[in-house]
Structure 1
């Protein structure tokens, strides 16, 4: 989950529309996962969740919204030899998604700080597994190579449910398994405390603001396993984190909170 922004700031953001390897670097294929894509440390990327996708950014990996973007967009990126990651929220309910009405009220908890989003009761695998499987089917059918499941650390937040670390581990592994069953790679989003236990279950990591909060070293198990760490900062300049990112072999860049086209790489 993106770090919380006060709700009073959100309307301003909604009005607004450093990789350690150079842009256009090796796409990081290979590794122990066989035919499944395995991005390696230092792989350059673009993360765009808002607006029309700008396919001209010269990077080998794009991370885009799974619902909002079409099979045609994914195919266009593939023609440019890009790998494409499907962004989904798997730990929170979003009231604007086309399947929002399929979630019973009993699994919808407190707001997570973003307008229209509420935490899910991840203990309810009987309810959530088929819903998430359907979302992952969508990603596969559109041709995505991988999945970025968001809101994967509810147990550390005030969700309205008594979630425990073991609940999160079980749920995160379920999501990883569902992605793998469909031939897609999957990234662990944030959830730094559980990296030692989950690094073997995921193919890469996605992190927000580890430099700002002094947490980047916690991502080292992924790099040691030859797995990429896709990292963004929002509030600190590149001069404050790029040297550390290069040292830790993170794929780092500066983005604006609305996650449009704009980026500044290390």
Structure 2
């Protein structure tokens, strides 16, 4: 499950397109970060999920995930949300932002997944077009662009990356495979680690241990309690797991209770509202165990 609200991606500008295919590990004159400098979030820290809207951290929160267009929270371990496998929807009346479907169509239409009739393949639930990871050349080009966003996260002060929609291959009408996703992930891992950032597996239990083998450092799961999947993440990543359950009509609090009982004593588990709103919203929900 992806969350409902995501900020539109903006930032690194058209210059990032020129980075397509480039996997440089350090800027000229700057030493590449060592493996020891990549630090995943602390296990069982109090966490908040703020990818819908950034706001002041609740008391006790020391780890937070925010959209890459938002500033990191002072004094906390900040995780940078990046929609790495699909496009962002456009906001009516807003300027064309990098990473939106209009931006991809204008600048890199060949990196959008299309079927045999030339039609874009769309994740219908979120109205996001899938990015085409089907060939090494396209994966390299995508890693150049998305890698620029990852570098931007590091420059802004984030400590880790949350690459969303790893499971887009499951919505690709069999045009993409898990193997394609893993190969692309390996490129993103290289970019993240080169920038001194840890990188998460976001959902996708179907990866098995391949994500850890590819170099992913921890996991961010949505509704592992509701879906009875928490054990998968802890088997692969140990205590370095963050789980978000959602308050909704389908019994999100039951999933929260399940996750807290199963893994809450050693991992980060929170309950949020589906729209990931800020305090003051009538739908705002936040609870940690």
The CA distance in 2 between the partners of 1:58 and 1:242, in whole Å, is 18
The CA distance in 2 between the partners of 1:43 and 1:93, in whole Å, is 31
> TM-score with structure 1 length normalisation?
0.77
- 1:92 maps to what in 2? 86
The CA distance in 1 between the partners of 2:161 and 2:140, in whole Å, is 21
104, 112, 129: which one pairs with 2:123? 112
Give structure 1 stretches of 5+ with no counterpart: 4-9, 15-31
- 1:45 maps to what in 2? 47
Deviation at 1:212, TM superposition (A): 1.3
**1:141 pairs with 2:155:** yes
Deviates more, 1:206-215 or 1:91-100: 91-100
Deviation at 1:245, TM superposition (A): 2.2
> TM-score with structure 2 length normalisation?
0.71
Deviation at 1:148, TM superposition (A): 0.5
**1:166 pairs with 2:179:** yes
SS of the residue corresponding to residue 175 of structure 2 reads coil
SS of the residue corresponding to residue 170 of structure 1 reads helix
- 2:65 maps to what in 1? 63
- 1:19 maps to what in 2? none
1:163-211, Cα deviation, whole Å (9 max, x unpaired): 1221111111111111111111111101212141222411110001111
260, 263, 266: which one pairs with 2:286? 263
- 2:210 maps to what in 1? 197
Checking the alignment, whether the CA contact within 8 Å between 2:64 and 2:77 is kept in structure 1 is: yes
The CA distance in 1 between the partners of 2:207 and 2:54, in whole Å, is 34
The CA distance in 2 between the partners of 1:243 and 1:98, in whole Å, is 41
Runs of 4+ in 1 over 6 A off after TM superposition: none
The CA distance in 1 between the partners of 2:193 and 2:262, in whole Å, is 32
1:207-262, Cα deviation, whole Å (9 max, x unpaired): 011111111111123443xx511101114213343211236x33111111111233
- 1:254 maps to what in 2? 271
SS of the residue corresponding to residue 231 of structure 1 reads strand
142, 146, 151: which one pairs with 1:128? 142
* Number of residue equivalences: 229
The CA distance in 2 between the partners of 1:243 and 1:168, in whole Å, is 32
- 1:244 maps to what in 2? 262
Give structure 2 stretches of 5+ with no counterpart: 7-33, 91-96, 114-119, 279-284
- 2:240 maps to what in 1? 228
The CA distance in 1 between the partners of 2:139 and 2:219, in whole Å, is 23
Larger radius of gyration: 2
The CA distance in 1 between the partners of 2:194 and 2:35, in whole Å, is 12
The CA distance in 1 between the partners of 2:84 and 2:121, in whole Å, is 15
1:52-107, Cα deviation, whole Å (9 max, x unpaired): 4223442111100002x1xxx32xx23xx211111010010113343432331552
